[in-house]
Amino acid sequence: MPVAPVAESLAEARRAWPRVDVDDAQFAAFLATKPASQAIRISDLFIVCAAAAHHPEAARSLEESFGPYLRKALSGLRLTPSQIDDVLQSTWRDVLAGESPRIAQYDGTGDLKAWLRVAATRIGLRVLKKSKRDAPESEAGEIAERAAADPELMLLKAKYGAHFHEAVKIAIDAMPRADAMLLRQHTIDGLGIDELAKLYDVHRATAARRLASARESLARAIREEFKRCARLDDSECESVLRLVQSSLDVTLRRHFSAKY
């Protein structure tokens, strides 16, 4: 990024974080460690630089600015209010503590808010597992509830359940790494289209297209693996495909949660 735009963005960053004062030379050195990009987020990097240097007001400014957003995001994980409090405390400790705080890994090419949400969501999922309110168990119930509304799918699940789960595992393990990461960020980390677009520095339509393509490819792979494992013909596989499409996010959450 040219010097003039950086200077203008730095001035905006100082206005955005008025209680935080980072020396120009210190920030320039920090900025030099990040990827060169026209879309780099100077304001986010400014507060991250301060936080990584343990500036006394940086942590408080981050919590005040992003705490309500993270609390709302965590509420979608079915955590209790006290668990959300614990997760938030653990998140701030995880990203801000130590001689080399993990927040320094943020590279400025995506939204800091989304980066923090990923960190908080991962901790939230671990809390769910420790409290025996495991996401895979509740999601298995959700699959059963959806299948119960369709007797054909319910019978299919009862008859071929083991083959179906084997097919899902094989298909997920064989996915391209980029597709697996994108689906995991969407289903486990809870990132929506707009957040994925910012994270990958692409237009939201491109992010939506990539996500849809990854989902469709995986659904086809699951269908083919199921057909092979259960030895079904094309007609029977159409019912399988309906089950896959109706509960793909649920299935992905269960398998990614178990894997990661």
Say whether both 104 and 12 belong to one domain.
Answer: yes
Instruction: Provide the token pair at 233.
Output: 């013909």
Residues in the chain: 260
Q: How far apart are CA 42 and CA 13, in angstroms?
A: 7
pLDDT in tens, 133-161: 444 444 444 444 444 455 555 555 566 66
- For residue 120, give the DSSP letter: H
Say whether both 198 and 232 belong to one domain.
Answer: yes
Q: How far apart are CA 198 and CA 57, in angstroms?
A: 27
Say whether both 72 and 190 belong to one domain.
Answer: no
Say whether both 249 and 172 belong to one domain.
Answer: yes
Query: How confident is the model at residue 134, as a pLDDT?
Result: 45
Domain housing 153:
135-259
Contact between 208 and 193 (Cβ < 8 Å): yes
Q: How far apart are CA 47 and CA 232, in angstroms?
A: 57
Say whether both 169 and 110 belong to one domain.
Answer: no
Say whether both 123 and 24 belong to one domain.
Answer: yes
Q: How far apart are CA 194 and CA 114, in angstroms?
A: 10
Say whether both 100 and 216 belong to one domain.
Answer: no
Instruction: Provide the token pair at 39.
Output: 């879309």
Q: How far apart are CA 15 and CA 97, in angstroms?
A: 26
Domain boundary among 83, 103, 130: 130
Query: How confident is the model at residue 136, as a pLDDT?
Result: 44
User: In the chain, which residues have pLDDT < 70?
Assistant: 1-6, 131-161, 232-251, 254, 257-260
Q: How far apart are CA 172 and CA 183, in angstroms?
A: 10
Domain boundary among 106, 130, 154: 130
Say whether both 70 and 147 belong to one domain.
Answer: no
Contact between 10 and 36 (Cβ < 8 Å): no
pTM here? 0.54
Say whether both 22 and 125 belong to one domain.
Answer: yes
Say whether both 66 and 152 belong to one domain.
Answer: no
Query: How confident is the model at residue 147, as a pLDDT?
Result: 45
pLDDT in tens, 202-229: 898 999 999 999 988 988 888 788 777 7
Query: How confident is the model at residue 137, as a pLDDT?
Result: 44
Say whether both 7 and 103 belong to one domain.
Answer: yes
Q: How far apart are the first and last CA of the chain?
A: 36
Q: How far apart are CA 252 and CA 190, in angstroms?
A: 12
Domain boundary among 130, 152, 169: 130
Number of domains in the chain: 2
φ and ψ at residue 218, rounded to 5 degrees: -65, -40
Say whether both 78 and 169 belong to one domain.
Answer: no
CA 205, 207, 209: angle at the middle one, nearest 5?
70
φ and ψ at residue 188, rounded to 5 degrees: -95, -50
